[in-house]
Chains A and B, each alone.
Chain A
Amino acid sequence: MAEQKVELFARRLDRGVQQAVHSNSAAGTEKRYHSLGADYSAPDDLRRLAGQIRQHAIEHMDTYLEQAEQSLKRQGAQVHFAVTAADACRAVSDILQKAGAKKVVKSKSMISEEIHLNDHLGSVGIESVETDLGEYIIQIDGDHPSHIVKPIIHKNRRDIAKSFEREGLGDYNDDPETITRRARVFMRDKYLQADAGITGANFVSAESGRLVLVTNEGNSRFCLAAPKIHIALVGIEKVIPSDAELAVLLNLLGRSATGQQLTVYTEFINGPARTDRPSGPREMHVIFVDNERSQILASDCREILRCIRCGACLNVCPIYRQASGHAYRSVYPGPVGAVLSPLLAGKKFKELADLPKASSLCGACNEVCPVDIPIPDLLLKLRHRGHEEHAPSPGTPPMGAFAKLASSPMLWRFAMKSNKVMNLVPLEKLPLPYLQPWLKTRTLPEWRGGEFRSWMKDRRKK
């Protein structure tokens, strides 16, 4: 029988990698729990409030996006809109080529992964260096992030030491501090040589035009220190009404992502350098990227656009812990990815329609989500859509016969009783394709169909 792709990946996954992903994710879940509990008596109320804020923001995206554009322009930034991933890539390279830029430094940005920016820049002869340590390691290994906050959760320090040795960054040394120092020395030159710095944005305030960036390594600040041009790639859903909402959102983001009260660096960027504000890049471009987001907003899964990319749902997800991020074959893994990735695939929805099936629907993701996204409901809606569009789903039993049986009480009662024959035959030998995967690792209890019903009847007679 054909196998679900996530199942197949998990089954073949190296045991060491699986354990690293599990222990790292479980630690993340613990840290989140303690840091929220330490400071808030009712963290769930805060999550619900943040959910309302984000829901309001996406439902009024047209208004806030326009306002954000005006505010950013007022601050001196140039604003661009990109409909597709290709448009967004082209917008970046056009800006760079116009300025004669050849080298760029990048801070971590999921949307740049989403649009495959580095491949595009490479193809037009522009050097792009990832400066977040994890992302840099991904880049030199030609790998893909397997977690949205901890991109190299699937690697150990020995793997990294080997990569550094291969790249000529010194002899083999797997001491984390040495690795970090070597990366730092390497990066310093890159920052100084770069013509432009590319970042994402965690939030953009429509009212003030402030662009908010959170990092722990300070690399985004270096990206914006020496280079003359700043390009920020921003998903259109990142706009919030005003700075005031940051009080709720930033407090939840750090704690949910890494168990920190606040990330080490939180930058509020108010536009490019001016005479009264001499530091920073002289040119600032904000590229708002749609890439299927308006379609998601128009769908019945729009709640997923609330996401603030903290990764808490990945950490707590038992399927993510077993399968790791690469099992999801897309930029966004885990529960959020199982919803977002098939939607972002647009017309290619069916290619990723198996992802919403990779869930026991346990709801832990919703319980930890800082913006209270009903992820299990969205997974179910996408399963329904997959069914309607006849997307392949190996191992999913057909339900027509079950529905007939369960809507005909006579047939149902007959089946309950007659199935007792199962107790007399070796189940392992039965040609029932959906029973065998169960029996491989589990026994089935004795069939006692009809027992309760006759007991109830007897009691009534008495």
Chain B
Amino acid sequence: MTNAPSRPTGRKVQLMATCLCDAFFDGVAKATVEVLEHAGCEVEFPENQTCCGQPAFNCGDWPASREVMRHTTRVFESDKPVIVPSGSCAAMLFHGAPLEFEKEKDLPVVEKLANRTWELADFLVNGLGIQKWSGRFPARIAFHRACHTRGTGSGAAALKLLESIDGLEVVPFGEAEQCCGFGGTFSVSFPHVSSSMGCLKLEHLTASNPDFIVSGDMSCLMHLGGLADRGGHPVKTLHFVQILQTALHHHG
């Protein structure tokens, strides 16, 4: 999975908050807005946005998914960069959508949106050129690199910012390339396999007792957090943007 080589940058941006932040994680969406504004961006939130259509795409129901994607292209009609605080939804826009529109007449419309899409960390580091994040966050964290950022600059970008924060230590863990087991609808159609993968992931992530499990995708964290909770050993999870936001408030 790779991004288009030249995507628009600039500080007038559109935010795709994602349906998970819309429904559960308003804190992450708020942090995204504050962090982008701190970086000098003017954030536009198109009110009519819903979902990227990935659930239907992954189920094989491409006509249903395309219906949602067509709506999304209309909602985000502009030339501004589209910023997504999720590697997975971003990948749906820049990789999944062109795939499901391969044989459709409006492929160029979808490709145009794909070429404007940035995952949040990727945009901060590779789009805006931010190399260091100021502030302080004294904690040990385990960073789960979400699978849909494979092959993109997102994982390295998030780590670069996190590691530059004063007081923050990123701890290594085993089998880091392994998926958490969420996989969207996979988590409900393969509940045993999905949960077994998640428990294994938690074992690795918590091996050295980090204070927080951190990722750039709330879907992975919702699954891992929910598993740990149900298993009676709750863990604290954070989206990396929440760390960036908190660090700003604890400046020096």
Decide: B56 and A402 in contact? CB cutoff 8 A.
yes
Contact A361-B65, Cβ < 8 Å, known A377-B99, A397-B188: no
Q: Supply 13 further A-B pairs (C-beta < 8 A) apart from A361-B183, A366-B150, A449-B22.
A: A4-B189, A360-B186, A363-B150, A380-B57, A396-B60, A406-B68, A409-B48, A416-B23, A435-B188, A441-B195, A441-B198, A442-B223, A443-B226
Q: For A42, list chain B residues within 8 Å (CB).
A: none
Total number of A residues with any Cβ neighbor in B under 8 Å: 72
B210 near A: Cβ within 8 Å?
no
Q: How far is the CA of A419 from the CA of B23 in the complex (A)?
A: 9
Decide: A10 and B197 in contact? CB cutoff 8 A.
no
Residues 409-462 (chain A) with a chain B CB within 8 angstroms? 409, 412, 416, 419, 434-435, 437-438, 440-453, 455-456, 459
Residues 340-374 (chain A) with a chain B CB within 8 angstroms? 357-364, 366-367
List 16 A-B pairs, Cβ < 8 Å: A7-B191, A10-B190, A362-B147, A366-B151, A380-B99, A387-B61, A399-B59, A400-B61, A407-B68, A409-B47, A434-B188, A437-B188, A442-B229, A447-B23, A448-B23, A452-B17
Total number of B residues with any Cβ neighbor in A under 8 Å: 73
B45 near A: Cβ within 8 Å?
yes
Interface residues of A (CB under 8 A from B): 4, 6-7, 10-11, 26, 29, 300, 316, 318-319, 322-323, 357-364, 366-367, 377, 380-388, 393-400, 402-407, 409, 412, 416, 419, 434-435, 437-438, 440-453, 455-456, 459
B139 near A: Cβ within 8 Å?
no
Q: For B195, list chain A residues within 8 Å (CB).
A: 441-442
Decide: A406 and B71 in contact? CB cutoff 8 A.
yes
B51 near A: Cβ within 8 Å?
yes
The total of Cβ contacts below 8 Å across the A-B interface reads: 220
* Most central of B58, B186, B193, B222 by chain A CB within 10 Å: B193
Decide: B193 and A10 in contact? CB cutoff 8 A.
yes
Q: How far is the CA of A4 from the CA of B21 in the complex (A)?
A: 30
Q: For B100, list chain A residues within 8 Å (CB).
A: 380, 384
Decide: A403 and B179 in contact? CB cutoff 8 A.
no
* Most central of B58, B100, B148 by chain A CB within 10 Å: B58
Q: How far is the CA of A437 from the CA of B230 in the complex (A)?
A: 13
Q: Shortest Cβ distance from A366 into chain B, in angstroms?
A: 8
Decide: A441 and B23 in contact? CB cutoff 8 A.
no
Residues 8-60 (chain B) with a chain A CB within 8 angstroms? 17, 19, 21-26, 29-30, 33, 45, 47-51, 53, 55-60
Nearest CB to that of B33 among chain A residues? Answer: A456
Decide: A437 and B17 in contact? CB cutoff 8 A.
no
Q: Shortest Cβ distance from B242 into chain A, in angstroms?
A: 14
Decide: B68 and A383 in contact? CB cutoff 8 A.
no
Decide: B64 and A399 in contact? CB cutoff 8 A.
yes
Contact A367-B150, Cβ < 8 Å, known A322-B196, A384-B60, A407-B67: yes
B109 near A: Cβ within 8 Å?
no
Contact A406-B24, Cβ < 8 Å, known A361-B186, A452-B29: no
Decide: A445 and B226 in contact? CB cutoff 8 A.
yes
Contact A403-B23, Cβ < 8 Å, known A322-B197, A363-B151: no
Q: For A359, list chain B residues within 8 Å (CB).
A: 183, 186
